[in-house]
Amino acid sequence: MNREETERYINVVVTTNYWKGEKGAEVKFMYPALYRTSCLLDIRFFPYDQQACKLTISSWTSSKSDINYEPEYESVNMDNFLPNEEWVVVSFNIKRVEEKFVCCPEPWVLLEAVLVVRRKPLYYTNCGGGERGQLRQADRKKVPAAISVPRGEPGPLMLSASAISAFSLTGDSTIVERRKYALEWEYLASVLDRVLLIVFSLVVFTVTSIMILVGEAMHLSYELAAKEF
């Protein structure tokens, strides 16, 4: 991971609790940080599919005793959300998870934000007599949102972040044909697997039978030779 590409200096507002006679401070970022994540897509029901992408926010170096994350709301703030042409946001919820690791006795706090999006079938146009679906030319479609994440010890820390989940899928007019070929190869592979299994079983049975017969013949010849002497 390149540090220059993932970290940058930004302006923050620090409000200390010192004058209240309390420990801690509040650090508020002036503009959201940008996070990019990638997710595996299940396109078995394309273009009527629904995808879920999970973004995990936590500390690499501090356990619960040092930093205790608490989500301010159960759902991510969508006020600054920009509508997307290809996807509809179904839900964007965030929850707090405590997980223990082998390295440390203290649990670690994770914030898991799960973005669920549904594809718009009308985004795609039909071609080739309506038999194939062709994707519109699009490099990446981004779904931005704002996350408010409080932070604990030694004092609360307000983190305003924007999680950008980019979903991209490239294709052409042959997507249905390719899927057909894939299913044909899958069927052929299953048939070959059964045939080879039967052939292997027959070979094992034949070799075993021959070894048993040869062993019995050798045993009988040994007994006959012993009786002659």
Q: Same domain for 145 and 191?
A: no
Mean pLDDT across the chain: 72
Buried/exposed 46-58: b ≥16 CB within 10 Å, e otherwise = bbeeebebebebe
In this structure, the answer to whether residues 28 and 121 fall within a common structural domain is: yes
Q: Convert the pLDDT of each residue in 112-123 to its tens digit.
A: 888 899 988 877
Model confidence pLDDT, tens digit, residues 44-58: 888 788 889 888 878
State which residues form the domain around 228. 174-229
**Same domain membership, residue 197 and residue 134:** no
Q: Which residue has the higher pLDDT, 144 or 213?
A: 213
- What's the pLDDT score for residue 80? 77
Query: Is the predicted pLDDT of residue 221 greater than 70, yes or no?
Result: yes
Q: What's the domain count of the chain? A: 2
Q: Looking at the predicted structure, is the pLDDT value of residue 203 above 80? A: yes
Instruction: Give Cα 100 to chain centroid, integer Å.
Output: 21
Is there a single domain that holds both residue 78 and residue 144? yes
pLDDT at 127 over 60: no
Asked whether 106 and 40 are in contact (CB, 8 A), the reply is: no
- CA dist 201 and 193 (Å) reads 12
- pLDDT at residue number 33: 64
Both 17 and 103 in one domain: the answer is: yes
